[in-house]
Chain A
């Protein structure tokens, strides 16, 4: 099976064995329920173990899994009555970037997200999840609209990066992303950002500044793709696994840096094992965070958002190691002496 990942091998083998036993039990009418139960239990344990031990590179494979739930799955399963809004009101329409109103547990929200597509035709239509400047401008135009009416913004991030093409440069890719980052930092409405698959660098951050940043367990968020990192540092495309390791791009890493507020657990084996279950978990997380944020006074909301990004970073100051705004190592660094 093409969609099978290497590390899933032992689990799938066990699952097949369970199926065989079951059909054997049915056809011979021998009672094997105890054995089957035992195997099921072992299978569950094995899955948990495998998932816990997944390397960053393996998680990236899950984040890019062809069957992984994409933006459009979540749009239909998490939200009610989506109403798409098109156009950046300046020069174009980028189908990769979705923007539109929807209801979430009775509340109006603006949903922004990157579409990727699950078949070749859609992948091409959505440019493999890589937005053009028009996509970022559209997102900003609609976010401003939402803020005007006090509607919270939810962004679902899934992009290998902003489109690195000739026309994208001509139409100001860098400017579009920079402008979004600045405006999102001061947008007068709650913003919740969720990395659902790939958090590819500036392309992700262009819709990624908010009051809460969440990541799915097997998503990644990185300054550069492992492929790009491998090419630049090793002058070869063969070191993607090592690159994924050193870039510290998993959800756990980002939580450790104080960038991510919550990790949304995935169904055992990855989000693609159950799209309804993944959607349910996302929905619950979104409702919880919006409930909290909508309670806040606007001034408090914006101040906390500012402090959230303001704190990010790790450096020495007068010899003390500061991480996420806190002194973590008061000892004098040898570098300064």
Chain B
């Protein structure tokens, strides 16, 4: 392959060069040409590692062009615990809003995928690590209720290294119940939930809505699990096997329907939407 010669080039001082022509894949450590990565929707051409992408990029690669109609909920996070540890939650929120330009770690809206109208949503893994507090839980529940009411398929892309947001304490934990309860009602009403898991989806998000798809897809090599690898390592006091908690690991153990590369996701989800038509109420 043409990239082989480039693979040997090692820039030891910088892990990656934002804005540069080249970047280093965090998985296979190869130096790859940025344009080639972009062309593959932010996927490493060497090893198929899927870089984390922004919500705008996600919408662009999964939904039909210009089909996304965002639903503005007007929700924003409060600081109910007045949470102050090393940093204040209130400050962390302000900073996250500045950096991402988002109000919180979730966006929802209508859209079409291969012509099928859906309610779509996704978490932003760059907003406080995609963690779920009251706003994420509430927004998710509203999207599910909307899809149920309008008998539309619900497609949600999870990316949450943070799981339940610690800064909102047990209120965050209870969002697991809120999101799951909404999904239970959608299921009772014959709704369809396609859950797409991306790197990383952990903790309270994985142990609630993300694991509850009627059909579940994952991007290659995504870290997916309940407890973080460090916690598990400390519990069992041993090294973890290669590929532990990765998509391929979950697929082999029966917890995923399929692993789908980003570039094929739109057509695969389109196929699923074509198969699983929501039935008229009895």
**Which A residues contact B (CB, under 8 angstroms)?**
162-166, 168-175, 177-179, 181-183, 185-186, 201-202, 205-206, 208-209, 221-224, 228-229, 232-234, 239, 242-243, 246-249, 253-254, 257, 259, 305-306, 309-310, 312-319, 321, 323, 333, 335-336
Tell yes or no: B3 within 8 A of A by CB: no
Q: Which residues of A lie under 8 Å from residue B224 when comparing CB positions?
A: 174
| Per-position 1/0 for B153-186, Cβ under 8 A of A | 0000000000011101111111111101111110
Closest chain-A Cβ to B45's Cβ sits at a distance in Å of: 30
Contacts of A201 in B (CB 8 A): 164, 173, 204
Cross-interface CB contact of B78 among A248, A305, A321, cutoff 8 Å: A321
Name which of A165, A306, A309 has the most chain B CB atoms within 10 A of its CB.
A309
Q: What are the interface flags for B6-35 relative to A under an 8 Å C-beta threshold, 1 for contact and 0 otherwise?
A: 000000000000000000000000000000
* Given A173-B207, A223-B166, A313-B175, residue A165 in contact with residue B85 (CB < 8 A): no
| B interface residues with partner A (beta carbon < 8 Å) | 73-78, 80-81, 83-86, 133-135, 137-138, 141, 164-166, 168-178, 180-185, 187-188, 203-204, 206-212, 224-227, 231-232, 235-236, 238, 240-241, 244-245, 249, 253-255
Q: A168-B226, A182-B180 are in contact. Are A316 and B245 (CB under 8 A)?
A: no
Pairwise interchain contact B166-A179, C-beta atoms closer than 8 A: no
Q: Contacting B225 at CB < 8 Å: which of A174, A182, A247, A253?
A: A174
Residue of B nearest to A180 (CB): B180
Q: Which residue of A lies closest to B227 (CB)?
A: A164
Contacts A248-B170, A249-B170: A234 and B86 contacting too (C-beta < 8 A)?
A: yes
With A168-B226, A335-B76: A209-B253 Cβ-Cβ less than 8 Å? no
Which residues of B sit under 8 angstroms from A249, Cβ to Cβ? 169-170
Cα–Cα distance between A229 and B17 once the two chains are bound (Å): 33
- Nearest A residue to B165, CB-CB: A223
Q: Which of B76, B173, B210, B240 contacts A315 (CB 8 A)?
A: B76
Q: Which residue on chain A has the smallest CB distance to residue B89? A: A246
Minimal beta-carbon separation of B246 from chain A (angstroms): 11
The answer to whether B178 and A202 touch across the interface, beta carbons within 8 angstroms, is: no
Q: How many A-B residue pairs have CB under 8 A?
A: 201
Choose among B172, B181, B238, B253 the residue that contacts A171 (Cβ–Cβ < 8 A): B253
The CB with the most chain B CB atoms within 10 A, among A169, A175, A202, A223, is that of A223
B166 touches A232 (CB 8 A): yes
- B184–A233 CB distance below 8 A: no
The residues of B that contact A246 with a CB separation of less than 8 Å are: 81, 83-85
Interface pair B181/A202, CB less than 8 Å apart: no
| Given A205-B173, A318-B74; 15 other pairs, CB 8 A cutoff | A162-B227, A171-B253, A172-B254, A178-B211, A201-B204, A202-B164, A222-B170, A223-B169, A229-B85, A232-B166, A233-B166, A239-B85, A313-B178, A314-B78, A315-B77
**Chain B residues, CB < 8 A from A164:** 226-227, 231-232, 235
Q: Do the beta carbons of B85 and A233 come within 8 Å of each other?
A: yes
Given contact pairs A164-B227, A177-B207, A313-B137, A222 touches B169 in the complex (Cβ within 8 A):
yes
Quick one: given A169-B227, A310-B141, A333-B76, are A315 and B135 in contact (CB under 8 Å)?
yes
21 contacts between A and B (CB under 8 A): A164-B226, A169-B244, A169-B245, A170-B253, A173-B225, A174-B211, A175-B255, A182-B180, A182-B187, A185-B184, A223-B169, A247-B169, A259-B174, A306-B181, A312-B134, A313-B138, A315-B75, A316-B77, A319-B74, A333-B76, A335-B76
Kindly identify which residue among A181, A183, A222, A315 contacts B176, using a CB–CB cutoff of 8 Å.
Answer: A181
Complex-state Cα separation, A187 to B238, whole angstroms: 40
**Contact among B207, B209, B232 for A202, CB-based, below 8 A:** B207
* CB-based contact B253/A257 at 8 Å: no
Within the complex, what minimum Cβ distance (angstroms) separates A186 from chain B? 4
A residues in contact with B184, CB < 8 Å:
182-183, 185-186
Q: Are A315 and B134 in contact (CB under 8 A)?
A: yes
Q: Are A181 and B227 interface neighbours, CB within 8 A?
A: no
Rounded to whole angstroms, the CA-CA distance of A201 and B185 in the bound complex is 24
Q: How many whole Å from B146's CB to the nearest CB in chain A?
A: 14
B121 CB to nearest A CB, Å = 17
Residue of A nearest to B234 (CB): A164
